[in-house]
Chain A
Amino acid sequence: MQNSQMEAVTLADLGPGQSGCVVKVADDALGHNLAAMGLVRGATVSLNRTAPMGNPRIYAIKGYQLSLRNEDARKVLLRLS
């Protein structure tokens, strides 16, 4: 991947109102589970809300709301859009 503009941003780094495009999902059981929930390469995802203690957070993906802990959201690499 030569794109110079691309930083290693994970889903957990997404700021309020920011959105991104999924580049890569971790290749483990959780990653496969996340992929089944719609977090596949190319999907657009944005941050909706954060829980009282900053974790978990709610993301908008494929037209619905998905709640993930930050440690799990780190399994998803994004390209900011």
Chain B
Amino acid sequence: MTHDVKIKTLTVALTGNPNSGKTTIFNKLANARESVGNYPRVTIAPRERLIEHRGRQIMLVDLPGIYSLSARTPEEQAGRDYIHFKRPDVVINILDSGNLDRSLFLTTQLIEMGCPRIHALNMFDEARRKGISIDTPALVSMLGGPVIETVATTGEGLDLLLDAALEIADPATPPHPSVSVGYDAHLEAAIERVRTQITELHPQEMSAQQSRWLAIKLLEGDDEILTREGEHKELIEQVGTERATFKQHHDESCELAFAAGRYGFIHGLLMEARTVSAEIPDEAMLHTRVDDILLHRWLGLPILLGLMWVMFETTFTLGAYPTDIIKSGVDALSGLLGGILPDSMIKDLLLNGVLAGVGGTIVFLPNVVILFFFLALFSETGYIARGAFLLDRLMHLFGLHGKALIPLIMGYGCNAPAIMATRTIEGRRSRIITSLVTPFMCCSARLPVMMLFAGAFFSAHAGSMVFAMYLLSIVTALGSAILFSKTVLRSMPEPFVMELPPYRLPSIRAVLFHMWENAAGFLQKVGSVILVGSIVIWFLQEFPREITFSQNYDAALTELASQPASDERVSEEERLTAERDREKLEKSYLGRIGMAVAPVFEPMGFGWKDTVAILTGVVAKEAVVASYAVLYAQSKESEGLMSAISGTMNPAQAFAFMVFALLYLPCLATIGAIRREAGSWKWVGFSVAYSLGLAWTLALIIVNLGRVLL
């Protein structure tokens, strides 16, 4: 990515372990200062923001949270490539002061890369409460770069962090004496031999530090670096021999020896620079007590389910109030525009296309915001990791990761934000499986369709039928997850290696920021996919303008208007208008498409009207009922609609239609979310093909079973 930034803009990259407070620091730095520009995050690309500090423009880059730079995961690779190729002016390495042993592992790799860096001892307050005291000045010389004590949540030390960044980027500042992570004698000898070869192959090109880094990476068997040096056959051969010899003599590979060496270096360093008090602090005791309850072998799961229920319930009951307000706002706007604008095509497009489509989707905003409030709360406190731990065994049976629970539950509300929530799953394979199966969850927009059909065809057992649909949706989701994990997504095994972060009180700011970011993403989608989709459907429904009607409705209506007012006149007027609208729709492009596609549903005996309803449901599932209302020229709420459709299908067909409507396609907003989270149109195509195929086949089976049984 290249940016059109002014000269002398300083690039400062933030890197650190997950849960190190890196993103909090990024947000704090980015928001406390006047933002000069905002480059919102796209898929997994790093987040960037241009800020100003002491008159200097700084491009802050938030790299993904990683434990190591070994390029084993896409996140690690993104982090390493950014630091290696983009060469940021300064790297800020965020360390968890209470967990330095592991945090410093990444630091040892940064030291070897030789990038100018600053170390932030973050959550310094938490470490102090844990009884840990750190000799910060000693760390400066041992790590070869400034060390700043910070508390991200309060903003303590963050200014110093930027000051230090400006200072080390200043050419006038003398460089910190370089440090080096030492390994045991045999490894060091091997490094030296490979390094000699490298300097012969790349004379004058590399500093001693760079060639040492390259030698270490090659000996560690870094695939990518090996490929890059592929042209130097003798070097590759030498590395191969060194690795084989080492393994033969030490009964362990170079990779493991390097990891052990790094942890040895860290151990030695912390022996000197850190003291930990022997007594267990109250806070740690409290955390253990809380875990005793929340992770209890019998109580853990019921508590988790209870919390999920609270989240679900609050989202849809509390969300209903602002939703009503938005709905009446949209209605008021629509009424206002209807009054002001002269009758025209533009008015029709605005009211029945744009406002109906966008307004119909934007009403979900409160639900999205509340859901993300809970998600932020659960993830900031550290509970999500615990939920994943509790459920992993169960979810693993279905080829899913423990964390897949959250998107699946959220999917009952609305699939689009649910798929956005798959971001909390680290592994790419599990993330894709989860985003592919979440659309099967019976979202709230499908509920009206289910209620309409259950009421029309199974009025005695309507409730049970709707409940059966809910069950079918989770069964389909889990069943498909097993299928995907055994077929298309089998090749990438992902172990469950998860850190359990300590409990932390979430900062209100972080929670609000998280909510805002996701709400903005949702609004963006409404402004793009939904807007365009609504306009397209409107056009298809309204055109062609010139239709040859089978009878002259307008003349008939005008004639009726001249007759004396009576109940008969009103009902006759209604009948004629409805008849005219139906014929208009039938002859519109949408109607023609419906008739053209109808043969696909011929085997099930669905008519062209059902086809049109199915097609419009692609934009948003709510549209299915709305289309039926227009097609049968009945008002949405009326009992009339139920009786109007009740005669059109037999019970087996109606059940087949419900199953089809439940499973057939993710709506446009969901498709957009799958594209974003799975990262390619390929998976969107797969999801569309799979769900259509499954829904069609199931519907056909049901109809035929019905023929045999009924």
Name A residues whose Cβ lies closer than 8 Å to a Cβ of B: 24-25, 27, 29-38, 40-43, 49-56, 58, 62-69, 72
Contacts and interface: CB of A to CB of B under 8 A. Distances in A.
A51 B263 contact: no
Contact of B99 (A33, A49, A53, A63): A63
Contacts of A56: 389, 392-393, 496
B263 A38 contact: yes
B256 A38 contact: no
8 contacts: A33-B497, A35-B255, A40-B263, A41-B256, A49-B291, A63-B99, A64-B101, A68-B495
A67 B67 CA distance: 15
B589 interface: no
B500 interface: yes
A3 to B, nearest CB: 14
A74 B654 CA distance: 52
Q: Mostly helix, strand, loop or mixed at chain B's interface?
A: helix
Contact of B500 (A29, A40, A58, A69): A58
B27 interface: no
A43 B497 contact: no
B72 A27 contact: no
A24 B98 CA distance: 27
A-B complex: 10 closest residue pairs judged by Cβ atoms? A35-B259, A62-B101, A65-B500, A53-B393, A40-B260, A36-B68, A72-B495, A67-B498, A40-B263, A27-B253
A76 to B, nearest CB: 11
Contacts of A64: 99, 101-102, 499-500
Contacts of B251: 24
Nearest to A1: B251
Contacts of A34: 497
Contact of B393 (A52, A65, A72): A52
B299 to A, nearest CB: 9
B394 interface: yes
A73 B685 CA distance: 38
Contacts of B500: 58, 64-67
A72 B105 contact: no
B498 A66 contact: yes
B390 A52 contact: yes
Contact of B102 (A33, A38, A72): A38
Contact of B259 (A24, A40, A68): A40
Interface string B383-397: 001000110111010
Interface in B285-305: 291, 295, 297-298, 300-301
B70 interface: yes
Given A52-B393, A55-B393, A30 B495 contact: yes
Contact of B297 (A35, A40, A50): A50
Contact of B394 (A31, A36, A41, A53): A53
B300 A52 contact: yes
B102 A65 contact: no
A32 B257 CA distance: 10
B188 interface: no
Contacts of A49: 291, 295
Contacts of A40: 256, 259-260, 263
B499 A27 contact: no
A67 B263 contact: no
Nearest to A38: B102
A33 B72 contact: yes
Contacts of A38: 101-102, 105, 263
Nearest to A66: B499
B517 interface: no
Interface string B477-502: 00000000000000000011111100
Given A35-B259, A36-B70, A40-B256, A66 B101 contact: no
Nearest to A31: B256
B102 A32 contact: no
Interface string B94-127: 0000111110010000000000000000000000
Residue among A50, A52, A55 with the highest chain B CB neighbour number at 10 A = A52
A59 B328 CA distance: 54
Given A36-B68, A58-B500, A25 B393 contact: no
Contacts of B256: 25, 27, 31-32, 35, 40-41
B67 A37 contact: yes
A68 B497 contact: yes
B252 interface: yes
Interface in B247-295: 247, 251-253, 255-256, 259-260, 263-264, 291, 295
A29 B105 CA distance: 17
A11 to B, nearest CB: 12
A68 B385 CA distance: 12
Contacts of B101: 38, 62-64
A24 B252 contact: yes
A72 B496 contact: yes
B339 to A, nearest CB: 61
A19 to B, nearest CB: 16
Given A30-B495, A32-B70, A36-B70, A41 B252 contact: yes
A60 to B, nearest CB: 10
A68 B389 CA distance: 9
A20 B479 CA distance: 40
A35 B260 contact: yes
Given A32-B70, A66-B500, 14 more contacts: A24-B251, A25-B256, A33-B72, A33-B495, A35-B255, A38-B101, A41-B260, A52-B300, A52-B393, A62-B263, A63-B101, A66-B498, A67-B499, A72-B495
Nearest to A75: B495
Given A31-B256, A32-B259, A69 B102 contact: no
Contacts of B68: 36
A64 B123 CA distance: 15
Contact of B301 (A32, A43, A52): A52
Nearest to A22: B260
A52 B297 contact: yes
B127 to A, nearest CB: 11
